Structure 1
């Protein structure tokens, strides 16, 4: 069987396991899928062609989760975050395609490491941030999403606020889906979406379903305090992984 992107059988199997693990994290936390998978893929092959694949996977996973999250989505937050992201995305994709994702990833991951450490210290935002604040975070997220980590600044932003676990997870899932729907056409215009992208996404479908189902079961068993701590630790791990990956490749 011919694999997309000329992958060897061994590499494809390893990426399949990474996909399952990343889908489990997405099923549990609502974010982290793209950052985990892209970082792992970079250890084995050129990760750039996989960025549109993981965005397509994010969209497919939302189909698995839609029924259970609909009532918990904070649509006001999602709307203003998307407005900000839509402003930044055309510029950020253009920059990423011209200078490469690693340079941007180092700066972005460094900022998220600092934010995660701050959150672990117990710091929180003392008042609700309005439309301008959400739009500004959306701009930062849009700048980050060309490197596949647009969810991390939003997750850090929500973790610093008194957001219930179900609302955090549902809002992240819907926001990332909308973000990816905006980003994919820009990547297509940049030449990153090919038939191999479609084939890889279709091959990933059953693995995604299993991973999201397992992660969702774990979420239902978690307490709100444990969920927040897990989300912050995941942020720290992903940002540190992004820094290491960018510096060694």
Structure 2
């Protein structure tokens, strides 16, 4: 049973946050993140975490995202199971889950600036590889999927952003956009739920994180619905172009040298 004093404190905290410009900035970012995730199957964290980390701090930004994503995008992602290729998703998801505790430990103990610079370098390298036009012309193997999952789990647990690893892996294939999107949606549904469990036991879901997540949840859900409608009218070419643009945005926004323009 929920304590009435806790609910009163929660309502007071929400009311206070709604009077702050920072909250409305976060709300705008949440909406854009939702549209992005609904359209492409990824990108919510790519947009939300780099921008809000400058005003909330990396640990809080990551925790807030995964909490509101759990109750909005995660159930939506599981609905794509029939359209996904489970033989490709399962090895990646299992490998990612095994690395999440390691990534969460890094998030709690490492210097946030070092984490952000490392991620920017990693994303840039993967983007350059994709833009060369290189494609893997075979079927993704369980071993390759597992290796990609290990990298995604570590990056996701440590920075909240695992999309570049996953997207670089699946966009390098010749699969249709609908299949790629379904695989991504299912993988992130599994990975997000697992990340929330790990973060919970690491004490990352503090009271103020819950408050921000409650404010963000309905805004993000609306963005998801709009993004999904946009996807229905897109082609494979448009899908890949949007994916590349999102990766570029993630690189630029994650650079710590831009913090002074966001704060």
Shared fold by TM > 0.5?
yes
- Tell me the TM-score normalized by structure 1: 0.90
1:94 aligns with 105
Residues of 1 paired with 2:126 and 2:106: CA distance? Answer: 24
Unaligned stretches of 5+ residues in structure 2: 1-11
Residue 2 of structure 1 aligns to a residue whose secondary structure is: helix
Q: Find 1:51's aligned residue among 62, 81, 84.
A: 62
Residues of 2 paired with 1:88 and 1:175: CA distance? Answer: 15
2:40 aligns with 29
Moved more, 146-155 or 19-28: 146-155
CA offset digits 1:30-65 (Å, max 9, x no partner)? 111112111111232323112122112222223346
Q: Is the 8 A contact 1:106 1:246 kept in 2?
A: no
1:185 aligns with 197
Residues of 1 paired with 2:258 and 2:100: CA distance? Answer: 24
Q: Which one has a bigger Cα radius of gyration?
A: 2
- Tell me the TM-score normalized by structure 2: 0.85
Structure 1 position 239 matched with structure 2 position 247: no
Structure 1 position 118 matched with structure 2 position 129: yes
Cα distance change on mapping 1:65 and 1:129 into 2, 3 Å: closer
Q: Is the 8 A contact 1:15 1:41 kept in 2?
A: yes
Unaligned stretches of 5+ residues in structure 1: none
Deviation at 1:119, TM superposition (A): 1.2
Q: How does 1:1-249 map to 2 (within 5 A)?
A: 1-3=12-14, 9-59=20-70, 60-64=72-76, 67=79, 69-146=80-157, 147-242=159-254, 244-245=255-256, 248=259
Deviation at 1:23, TM superposition (A): 0.5
Q: How many residues align?
A: 247
Cα distance change on mapping 1:131 and 1:5 into 2, 3 Å: farther
Q: Is the 8 A contact 2:34 2:227 kept in 1?
A: yes
